[in-house]
Chain A
Amino acid sequence: MTTLGLVMMVLSLCFVIGLAFWCYYRVLTAPTPPPEEIEHFHNA
């Protein structure tokens, strides 16, 4: 593999892995919606 090939591979992998980790961090640390909101939707 050439140096440029290695660079392309590392950059691509860093991008997809970084994006995925950042997204899952945001999803898993998000506050849960208030219960009255859920109740209101169920009754709509």
Chain B
Amino acid sequence: MTEPPSQPKPTQQWGSRLGVILAVSGSAVGLGNFLRFPGQAAQNGGGSFMIPYFLALLFLGIPIGWAEWAMGRYGGRKGFHSAPAILGVIGKGRIARYLGVVGVLIPLAVYFYYIVIESWCLAYAWDYFAGMAGFAHGVGIDASQPVAEQARVASEHFDNFTGAKFDGVMLDGSIHESVVFWAIVFAINVTLVYRGISKGIEKFCQIAMPVMAVCALIVLARVLTLGTPDAAHPEQNVWNGLGQMWNPSFEALQNPQTWLAAAGQIFFSLSVGFGVIINYASYMKKRDDVVVSGLTASATNELFEVGFGGMITIPAAFVFLGATGTLAAVSAGSFSLGFKTLPVVFAQMPAGALIGGFWFFMLFLAAITSSLSMLQPTLAFFEEALGWSRQKATTLLVAVSLAGSAFVLWFSKDLKALSMLDDWVGTLGIFILAMAQIICFGWVFGIERGWREMHFGAQLRLWPVWKFVIRYLTPLFLIVVFVAFCWNNLGTWMQAVADDTTKQLSIGVILATIGLLVFITWKGEQRWRKLGLDLDGNEPPPDEVQPKRQGGVR
């Protein structure tokens, strides 16, 4: 009589259901909620943008999220916590397992540059708070100067701080401020992740998420009570600022670009197809609800995105810069809006330094709860594929992420390295992983089995129509968005790589990271086979075996 295959014991678990929800929400809520979303909405039909946006939430974001939560919890029950191992089980074989490498590549490579942006947020918050207390020079904007001069100072401050004018920010012989903040933020992230799922990530998110909401409420209250600050421009008031964001232009719905932008925003904002949810859900208990938990995490993200992002950024900019200035700021991109335009707005605003401090501290919290979620999937992968202790795996994680992030910090001119990783991994990679996941879940694992798995321990029974959505509609929606996205961008991106050495080096970094992850997956595959683990998903999880008949699987 053969023994049932042994499975590794669960080493970590979430302390509470609310803890995992806040951690996943923290992962989803990022800079894009406050900077990218309002820009996308204002540029693509204002209030009417919300129609394709909510449709994409319903038929793209939420179904992929549910599939990820269910796959993650199932993988965790089989003792696996990394995307390659879990997708191998769900997708029943090597192809899915090696596609799962993308689920480690995305969080790791995005971490390389996200930590740099995160350090900007902390530095700006410090500049505002310490500037008020007289410890620092602040952002250096003089509100008595003309707005054009203030914009020039804000832009110069950002370029100097981020090293956007030249490569090799650490080369000038001085200890650069941005490097100091980068090191601080890096150390905080590694320490929290090393403390573990429950003691590190969960505890931090349980504090950081409410604090972030309080900061957002303070900034929102200030923006909504601005009234008409400049009597010479009575049309520049909060009411019209909200109109700039929310007045619908229904003709925009006839433009496919609007639908693509809405789907893209939902997709990138919810952290689906990122390799994070699948890892976080693997630490859940067997009967923990995934349906309501997934929906709650998505709802929290939407609350921050629509409730705060949609109400703060554009109205604040409009009140001080007018319609033309706001549209120019929005079209210059998220970084320009967040780090160049808003400091000018805060300079004009009563109590602007305090509000600026709260704003950038809120962005820092949004960023750190996301960056933590990027380290954990990689750490879990190193631990389970190599069979290493947490300490040893953390050392490798620090070495790899330090090298990757130093590359981004060094090649800072025009933020080229950062943009390349964002385009090729943080954007293209997400489509690939989401597609692999939804196909594995709906087609290979099987929608009936997936449906049962989703509803195991669920508080809410979904209408059966969601089966059709997950199996057919979501993959089709994803394919259309992906093809349109590639059609619009891939040619330009390829040309840009051919023309620029830094961009070629960035591709080299991505390929080297893929090579390392594929090698570790191969090593893990050998290790898991040697241990007799069911890495191709042929057996049910050990806790599904009837304890009475089998005498238990302990």
- Listed in ascending order, the chain A residues whose CB lies under 8 Å from chain B are 1-2, 4-9, 11-13, 15-17, 19-20, 22-24, 26-28, 30, 33, 37-38, 40-44
Contacts and interface: CB of A to CB of B under 8 A. Distances in A.
A20 B299 contact: yes
B204 interface: no
Contact of B10 (A12, A13, A41): A41
Given A8-B48, A9-B242, A27-B17, A33 B287 contact: yes
A37 B300 contact: no
B151 interface: no
B542 to A, nearest CB: 5
A23 B299 contact: yes
B72 to A, nearest CB: 15
A12 B310 contact: yes
State the main secondary structure of chain B at its contact with A.
helix
A19 B286 CA distance: 26
B152 to A, nearest CB: 32
Contact of A44 (B7, B245, B248, B459): B7
A33 B17 CA distance: 11
A5 to B, nearest CB: 4
A26 B54 CA distance: 22
Contacts, number: 109
Contacts of B77: 41, 44
B184 to A, nearest CB: 32
A4 B177 CA distance: 47
Given A5-B246, A16-B302, A41-B543, 7 more contacts: A1-B239, A5-B247, A9-B242, A23-B292, A26-B459, A33-B288, A41-B286
A2 B21 contact: no
B48 A19 contact: no
B475 interface: no
Interface residues on B, range: 35 or more
B50 interface: yes
Interface string B31-58: 0000000000000001110100010000
15 contacts: A5-B242, A5-B248, A9-B310, A12-B306, A16-B307, A17-B303, A22-B299, A23-B299, A28-B18, A30-B292, A37-B286, A40-B547, A44-B7, A44-B542, A44-B543
Contacts of B285: 33, 37-38, 41
B243 A1 contact: yes
B293 to A, nearest CB: 7
A26 B553 contact: no
A8 B248 contact: yes
Contacts of B9: 44
B461 interface: no
Contacts of B202: none
B133 interface: no
B240 interface: yes
Interface string B232-270: 000000011011011110000000000000000000000
B302 A26 contact: no
Nearest to A6: B246
Given A8-B47, A44-B554, A20 B302 contact: yes
